[in-house]
Amino acid sequence: MPTRPPSSDPRIRAYTEATHAMAQRHFDVDVPVDPESEDEVSQLGRALRALASSMERSFREMQELTRVTERVNAGLLLDEVLDGIYEAFKGLIPYQRIGLSLIDDSGERVVARWARSETGDLRLKQGYSAPLSGSSLEQIMETGQPRILNDLEAYLREKPGSKATRLVVAEGIRSSLTCPLVAMGRPVGFIFFSSGEPGAYRDVHVGVFTRLAGQLSVIVEKSRLYQRLVELDGLKDRFLGMAAHDLRSPLNSILGFLLLLEREYYGPVSESQREVLDKIRKGSLSMLTLVEDILDARQIESGHLRLDPQTMRVSQVVTEEVEAIHPLLAAKNMAMRVDIPESDPEVRADPVRVGQVLANLLSNAVKYSSPGGAIRLTVEDHLRELAVHVRDEGAGIPQDEVATLFTEFGRTSVTPTAGEGSTGLGLAIVRRIVEAHGGRVAVESQVGQGSTFSFFLPREGDANQEQPDSAAVARNGAPVSPSPSPVVPGSRAGSSPVPP
């Protein structure tokens, strides 16, 4: 039978179209092949059909492996990642049990960290450890290749001293696939896929794991380090809490005895002695403030901040905090003006915590203002929220440092004008308290012109509505206050000025 030149063979056109389709990841293509023909074009067609089938399998497998990686990587804590592995590998590798063991910091022991089983009967539990040196696991790590044991009962007869094998056999496990984890060139540990069926594992399962091994190792190590960081952070919080509690009682005792000394309960006090006592009192009060701030920050961080919301008039809290700040104002010969709408607005909030917010903002305004300056506190009654602004005439905050405000221990290059102490926690506490009310905080600052710190509380009925995240945002626009007015000592809308 005469053959047509390849250029005129219609099969060539069909094969060309099929090739273009596969290049676009369309593998279900029509590749016509004459089963009775053995010419070169027919052989090309059969090869092309086999290639399409192979590429489709590889593409589906790549999609599945990508899905597995994304699902596993979605976790942050190690336990979350391992639960993700347990669910994600179903359909790729057979198992009824997965275990993870990590190499300890010394590099000498392998410690069981996590296990999950369909039966729930775990005999080899978290905390079990064994030496790495001289073990079969050391050989696996050295070769970097997974190991298949398809008959664990036979393996146990050969190595009766293997306690780990005896424990998993007692769980009903009969075959295992042990896979090494190496992250950034450093041995991390091992993942054990285990099945209750003998002969469950094949080289194809090794291939699946091998294609994911690098990414999986890095994900596991990242999660392990993150979980360690979380645990250390919790330990730090507990230590700070204990230290703060232990310091508060003796500080209160010191302040109590200082008060008795200043009142000459133990005898006359000379002027020079009184100056020393005053320095001790200021230092003790500064330390007590730090202790209280640490306790507040720890309580807020642990999610145990308790609010006692009630309908309150802002003027009452403002009056109390302004009176409390008067000694600080007088010490720096500063003036203050308070502007509250005639309507004297109400808001549903915890008056003690709102007072704490105001006290922090007002004391900060005094600290960072020069002697003889002025502070203005303005309350604005908006439709859906109540706004409180505290404006000072300090040095202002550089724009590139504003992001550190309202963060724990956040500090800027601006320092208190009279050497007052600062814990770096006050504004972070302000933000957390306001956010706990469903509100937000903000700051406007310009170098040389002072700063305005503001907080916004939702009006009654709006407290449960979603609020935007608080952000310390500096803008070079108009001041927060509705209109500038002369700063006079201690005035309030509708009242006459009162000196500090």
Task: Write out the CATH class of domain 76-222.
Answer: alpha beta
- What's the DSSP call for residue 403? G
- Distance from chain centroid for Cα 282: 37
pLDDT in tens, the chain (500 residues): 455 555 567 778 787 888 878 777 777 777 777 777 788 888 887 888 888 777 776 666 666 666 666 665 666 678 888 888 888 778 788 899 999 999 998 999 999 999 999 877 899 999 999 999 989 999 999 998 999 999 999 999 999 999 999 999 999 999 999 999 888 788 989 999 999 999 999 988 887 777 767 777 777 777 777 777 777 777 776 776 677 667 777 787 888 888 888 888 888 989 999 888 888 887 787 677 767 766 776 666 666 677 888 999 888 899 988 888 888 888 888 998 999 998 888 899 999 889 889 988 998 888 888 888 899 999 998 888 999 999 998 888 888 777 777 776 666 667 677 666 566 677 888 888 899 899 999 988 888 888 899 999 998 644 444 434 443 333 333 333 333 333 333 333 333 333 33
**In 3D, which of 414, 413, 329 has the Cα closest to residue 377?**
329
Domain residue ranges of the chain, discontinuous segments joined by +: 31-74, 76-222, 230-301, 307-458
Cα dihedral 151, 153, 159, 163 in deg (nearest 10)? 120
CATH number of the domain at 307-458, please?
A: 3.30.565.10
What tokens appear for 74 in the block?
């979605």
Does the fold of domain 307-458 match that of domain 76-222? Answer: no
Pairing of strands 186-195, 175-183: antiparallel
Judge residue 218's burial from the number of C-beta atoms within 10 Å of its C-beta, 0-12 exposed, 13-18 middle, 19 or more buried.
Answer: middle
**In 3D, which of 215, 204, 205 has the Cα closest to residue 181?**
215
Cα dihedral 390, 396, 401, 406 in deg (nearest 10)? -10
Phi, psi of 101 (to 5 degrees): -120, 140
**In 3D, which of 189, 252, 243, 248 has the Cα closest to residue 221?**
189
Residue at 17: amino acid letter = E
Judge residue 90's burial from the number of C-beta atoms within 10 Å of its C-beta, 0-12 exposed, 13-18 middle, 19 or more buried.
Answer: exposed
Burial state string for 226-259 with b = 16 or more CB within 10 A and e = fewer than 16: bbeeeeeeeeebeebbeebeebbeebeebeeebe
pTM beyond cutoff 0.85: no
